[in-house]
Amino acid sequence: MSEVRVQRRLAAILAADVVGYSRLMEQDEAGTLTALKQRRKEILDPLVTEHRGRIVKVMGDGVLVEFASAVDAMECAIDLQRKMAAAGAVDPEHRKIVLRVGVNLGDVIIEGGDLYGDGVNLAARLQALAGPGEVWVAGSVHDQVEKKIGVGFDDLGVQQVKNIERPVRVFRVAAISSEALPSGVLSPPTSKRMSVASWASSTCSKGALRNRETASGSAPS
């Protein structure tokens, strides 16, 4: 039996989720869901289209987006944070919807409409590390966009990221202000919801398992 070749491509991956999602849902479930749908329709969807991206998956408060260009991914991430902050400027402090975003450029595995692999996993991990209203990026992204977009970067150094074997050079976009963010915003416990990071870790493991099973000739369960 011939081995099935895994389909791969290089992609820029944007991962984003809502800070304090569990708190927002507990305070006003219907209102939070309505606000999220409105933000996606009025801000996220148009920006992804404008910057030639593709929404891979939406998971509750999280979203995963693929771009063919690191510049497009970064411009979308920055515009997303700025427009979300502007849209929330009139909201009460405790009801603001604030995002944290991670962007990575790396090799991904394609299966149907889904993406797997470290390229996805690292973007999700960077998103989980980012603070409210921030955009964190891998060194691979920074190297591609540093002189092509009109923002500065804070060098956060080399960091060991969960489930990534090698240390990663990490940068934070310096031009995005947190002044419009609500005070006391905290990340909800990861055990209470399936974050983009946990979803990416799970799907990466499943993708690796499928590849091993295909290579050995056994059928996946």
What is the domain partition of the chain in residue ranges? 8-215
pLDDT at 212: 42
3-state secondary structure string across 23-50: HHHHHCHHHHHHHHHHHHHHHHHHHHHH
pLDDT in tens, 166-211: 899 999 999 675 443 443 333 333 333 334 554 444 444 444 444 4
pLDDT at 2: 58
Distance CA 80, CA 98 (A): 10
pLDDT in tens, 60-102: 889 999 999 999 999 999 999 999 999 999 999 889 999 999 9
Q: Which CATH architecture has domain 8-215?
A: 2-Layer Sandwich (3.30)
Given a cut of 50, whether residue 163 has pLDDT beyond it is: yes
196 CA to centre of own chain: 7
pLDDT in tens, 143-159: 999 999 989 999 999 99
